[in-house]
Chains A and B, each alone.
Chain A
Amino acid sequence: QQQVKQSPQSLIVQKGGIPIINCAYENTAFDYFPWYQQFPGKGPALLIAIRPDVSEKKEGRFTISFNKSAKQFSLHIMDSQPGDSATYFCAALISSGSARQLTFGSGTQLTVLP
């Protein structure tokens, strides 16, 4: 019940395309959902995050869509660029918990072709 399931495992798009990465969770106690971007040899970097009281959040070219009833959320990257090529992880946490440890999805390796 603590798992966050992420798909697809890998994704290749052309420059300017709109890759979409999907995540699903079971634990309804999760109430904060960040996305992290990871380049090879680097640590995960927070990209954007959403709470379940909104259905969409946009920051620059990155948009999270959230469907609370379906327990699903997704990341859309508008006008994708080769520099967006990285591994993307969705995650979830319980903000009322003392530790607020992150539960990560399995990651999506995105390649944006020039």
Chain B
Amino acid sequence: EPEVTQTPSHQVTQMGQEVILRCVPISNHLYFYWYRQILGQKVEFLVSFYNNEISEKSEIFDDQFSVERPDGSNFTLKIRSTKLEDSAMYFCASRGGAAYNEQFFGPGTRLTVL
């Protein structure tokens, strides 16, 4: 069964460093998402991406964040200068097409900022 994959599973970084989180969405999906889950809290929407551009972003997704689909398979989230409060689980999700609502989530990347 096709699935969303994410790498790395765990990333530890120093405050102020740049990190890139990687995702490979399901191959025929067209819509891509990043969500964040701070430990013990709910899952929060960060950004959605379609047709090589951001279609929606939340207040959390400030200038420190960027997304990219550098090739036909990868979808990345970059945090330019990490802060302590960026420590969280980051989930990538993908959705098939306009006719579908179901989003499929990857296993997540745990980001720890020291």
> Within 8 Å CB of B106, what residues of A?
43
0/1 string, A42-59, CB within 8 A of B gives 1: 111110010000000000
Contact of A98 among B35, B55, B58, B91 (CB under 8 A): B55
Give the docked Cα–Cα distance between A6 and B104 (Å).
21
> Within 8 Å CB of A105, what residues of B?
42
Max chain A C-beta neighbours (<10 A), residue from B44, B101, B103, B104:
B101
A-B pair number, CB within 8 angstroms = 59
Indicate whether A81 reaches chain B with its CB closer than 8 angstroms: no
Residues B40-63 near A (CB distance < 8 A):
41-45, 48, 50, 55-56, 58
B interface residues, tally (CB under 8 Å): 25
Give the docked Cα–Cα distance between A34 and B104 (Å).
12
Contact of B42 among A41, A97, A101, A106 (CB under 8 A): A106
User: CB distance A103 to B45 under 8 Å?
Assistant: yes
0/1 string, B24-49, CB within 8 A of A gives 1: 00000001010100000111110010
Give the docked Cα–Cα distance between A107 and B42 (Å).
6
Q: Which 5 A-B pairs have the closest CB atoms?
A: A99-B56, A43-B105, A99-B48, A101-B45, A104-B43
